Amino acid sequence: MPKSFFSEKIDLIMKSREAMLSAVQIYNNPLILFKTESFIVLSLIAWTYLLHSYYRAQRIDYRYSTESGSRKKYIKNPDGSIKYWDLKECISNKLCPLDKDTINNLSFLIGLRNQIEHRKASGLDSYLSARYQACALNLNFYLKKLHAEKYGLDSNLALSLQFSELDQSQSKVIKDKESLIPQNVISYLADFDSKLSENEIKSDRFAYRLLFTKVLAKRKGQADRVIEFIDPKSNLAENISKEYWIKEETEKPKFSATQIIQKVKDAGHNNFGMHQHTKFWQKHDGKNPTNGFGSTVVKTWCWYQNWADYVISELGKKKTG
């Protein structure tokens, strides 16, 4: 007996929940090595199910088809089954119910999946965790918004406990792993982010970031919870954020123009010299502090790694264009 309209919709919703819970469980499992790959594949499946359930509820036909006069012909898979929209098609449709920043997050993950599909993704697990976190939280939000509160994952998502302190030495281990990120992924990141506005980059729908700081208990019973949330507008939060950003800008690696040029040459652009670099940063307003490509240190302009990534990405597009 074929499924009823209601039971098919509920089935899609439950599959969406299960896929995302599996993605989070695998990502938080300390024994799993392919965290990024597994999370991206499962989370994109979760979103596909969620949007299919929405289109099903709205009675929107989400099957690929072609028009021949007044007749509609459905496109089929090699096994003869009708082909349903993939996630890229779901979020590209004008009837998609998602906000722009959530779509940006999913578009990024779809592109990242394509970059790492047949390659090792070393170093990405911590480097892009804010975007994975946003993906999970966004799905939970839309499960409840598009369907009902009872379908939310709030009671299933818990804090992942750590085996090591998040101190300066642990931070160095994370940064060392990030150095293993393939050049094609670095170029993809720079290219994708360069197309977003500052507000889009900062949106917690695109990347969800939290700042952790160690707190010593002042009284009995105060330290029972690992995480306590404070008002981001409070003096305490503002002081912590201020100290963090000062420390972050101070410790961020800085490079001279000569070092940037060498990085670009190492990426395969052998004819890129000082003259070309000067013309490039002038054309792209590279020394505008609001662009975040570098900063002035003792009257000398220094570049950040993202500037090298951006240059390599732009030069790569010229080669393939």
CB atoms within 10 A of CB 206: 25
Mean pLDDT of successive 10-residue stretches along the chain, which has 321 residues: 70 94 90 87 97 94 86 89 95 95 96 82 78 93 93 75 50 51 78 83 85 57 55 65 50 81 91 94 89 79 89 82 57
Res 260: pLDDT: 93
Res 22: pLDDT: 94
At 184, phi and psi to the nearest 5? -65, -35
Angle at 46 between CA 40 and CA 49, to 5 degrees: 140
Res 240: pLDDT: 57
Res 198: pLDDT: 79
At 229, phi and psi to the nearest 5? -90, 140
End-to-end Cα, the chain, rounded Å: 53
Res 55: pLDDT: 94
Task: From residue 54, give the alpha-carbon distance in Å to each of 16, 40, 74, 93, 148.
Answer: 11, 21, 20, 13, 12
**Whole-number Å distance between alpha carbons of 193 and 26:** 27
Match 């906000």 to its residue by tokens: 99
Burial status of residue 36 (CB atoms within 10 A of its CB: 0-12, 13-18, 19 or more): buried
Res 305: pLDDT: 87
**Whole-number Å distance between alpha carbons of 181 and 48:** 28
Angle at 236 between CA 253 and CA 203, to 5 degrees: 60
Are the C-beta atoms of residues 44 and 138 closer than 8 Å to each other?
no
Res 99: pLDDT: 96
Res 225: pLDDT: 53
Res 180: pLDDT: 66
